[in-house]
Amino acid sequence: MGSSTLEMIERAEPRFVKFATGEIIEGTLLAVDALKIKDKTGVRYTVQLDSGELVGFLGTYQINTKLRRDDRGHRIRVTCVGEDTMVKRGENCMKVFGIAVSKQRVTAGAADALEIGDDDIPF
């Protein structure tokens, strides 16, 4: 099959979200990926918003304990509730999150294709 018969589109990286107090990300969880940040391993979540836009964000300890690999395909809502001023690293206070996950999967297919193994997740 010749490449001239196929229309190609450029895929963009998901927009990276750095949560601010009051910010809410709501959509379908598509991927949970392990990644290396400097000398540490972290977790990146990819969510498809209702608009179709893909967004990604890094997990915090709190997010990583509340979202699971088997939540892929479920609708999630991550809300940055505020900051805990009693817990600081340098000048930054720990962010506090509210996490909600639908009881049932809302989609199959795309989320299933993004299967990762237990060794990919550091928790």
Quick one: pLDDT at residue 39?
87
pLDDT of residue 113: 46
Residue 114: per-residue pLDDT: 47
Spans in the chain with pLDDT lower than 70: 1-4, 108-123
Q: Tell me the CATH number for domain 13-115.
A: 2.40.50
Q: What is the per-residue pLDDT for 122?
A: 52
How many CB atoms neighbour CB 48 within 10 A?
19
Name the residue among 77, 79, 53, 71 with its Cα closest to residue 121.
71
Cα dihedral 121, 63, 22, 30 in deg (nearest 10)? 40
Give pLDDT tens digits for 2-24. 556 899 989 889 999 999 999 99
Domain boundaries, the chain: 13-115
* Cut 0.85: pTM above it: no
Q: Residue 80: which residues within 8 A CB-CB, separation 6 or more?
A: 19, 20, 21, 22, 23, 24, 95, 96, 97
